Structure 1
Amino acid sequence: MSSSDIFFGEVLGTAVLVLLGCGVVAGNVLRKSKSFDAGWVAITFGWGIGVLSGFYVSTQLSGAHLNPAVTLGLAIDTGEWGDVPTYVAGEMTGALLGAVLVWLAYYGHFQAHLEHHKVVGGSRTPGPKAFDAAAETEERREPSRQEPGPVLGVFATAPEIRNSVQNVTTEIIGTAVLIFLVLGIGLNDGLTMSGTGGLMVALVVVGIGLSLGGPTGYAINPARDLGPRIVHALLPLPNKGGSDWGYAWVPVVGPLVGAAIAAGIHNLLF
């Protein structure tokens, strides 16, 4: 594979992954959407299908890493580091592109949703006509309590219980499960060549979401979280809230540590 194949393959695959993954969250969160409040199961399957789709559109070009944690795990396991920067550059570019496409697809819904809600103390409250003086006073008195806006979750993850040690540990465990499976499939040429491996990875992503996604929203992919978070920070939307940069390191560091641990163990065993 040439460097250009790797880069454009990862851009394409990761963009599809983020478009479908963040798209299912947008449909769940934005009130004017027909899939509003579809639930966590819908979200996990949406992300799984995003992984599967990204895999099939990019695997012949780049091998479909779609995730810097996967790239790191494979590099540790194989000792091949030369293409790592190209993979990561493609993955980050694709994640940014995918997030922008979600914004375009749901543009009117974002506008309708955000124009009628303000962020106060982390909660979504009715728009300007019902924005009472008591809430406004509280917002001025305790600005430190401001939390991410109601649409940040479309783009990036956030914990249900904010505890850095627990949150990082959850991301490490979830990503380690993913990397063990990816490396295990790599040992089976039949699965790799048939494409069944992509389906298995997609299903395990669904499983990780159902079993381990509750605490943090299961980033398990630094590009999937950081790229869309950057897009959220740049979007010209009203009342969108902050991008929660104080938490942004967790879905980057946790998956990378989990990948390194899983790849190290796999290398020792196999």
Structure 2
Amino acid sequence: MKKYLVIFMIFSLQILFSQDLEYAKRLLKLANTNVWLEKYDEASQLVDEAKKILSKFNSWESKYWTAVADETLGHIYFQMGNYDFAEKYYLEANTKFKELISSTYKGSQYATKELIEQSKEIGTVKKGQKELSQNKKIVNLSYSNVTGFLNLPQDLESFVAENSNLNKFPAELYGKKNLKILVLSNNRLNDAVLREMPNLEYLDLSNNNLSNVQFDLATIQNLKFVNLSSNRLKKVPIELISMKDLKLVDLRNNQIPFSEIANLIQNLPNTTILFDRYEKVEEEEE
């Protein structure tokens, strides 16, 4: 009888651990969504809550997700412009990844190292100023009137032009193989074709007049975050369905029928998809 009681207790503890771990993982996923939405205080609180849960356990998986939590804190401080704290948490995450991840899982370790270098390089590019960072890999033209030819460095890694009166997609961005971050929000773009940016991970085209967005899947392969909110889209860009590595897609404030949203959700079950609430209405026949 005692033997069965011990087995039952072990089984019950395993169930509780599994439930707590899944809850902590959901908290971290929600924290990353809040980082995307620039709700940094909420994101930080969610990470702290997840770390409290994870600290109760000593398994490989709980330690791994604790490292992910530190990496998320690095993202939060990085986006807030606190590069010292960002580097601190990236280093902590990297140390934990080193301890945990075998040679078959080096991707996350190297990605974290890259984020550390990125936090060092960006320095202090201020919003609203037309300037380059010292290494000229970061270009910020926000709140300036961007017209004419853009003379951009070939090894460009980040290009930001918010509220810059753009009415067409800058062709000078094509062929920038190191470009990872592209922000063209709050402009007057009517259409955009994304191609020849093989390392692009973060794309923000929100608050434009976009009715058409296309992706060349052969040369756009690494997207993780896509923000197309507040445009005039009437359908989901068909190429998104094939992008299985996407972490978040924001399609709010468009004119996309729910049938298209549902199809995207079905094809990207591991992606967070933000969309409008829909009333139950009959869709117009074409």
* TM-score normalised by L of structure 2: 0.24
Task: Judging by fraction of residues, say which structure has more strand.
Answer: 2
Comparing both chains, which one has the higher relative contact order based on Cα–Cα distances under 8 Å and sequence gaps of 6 or more? 1
- From the CA coordinates, give the structure whose radius of gyration is larger: 2
Task: Judging by fraction of residues, say which structure has more helix.
Answer: 1
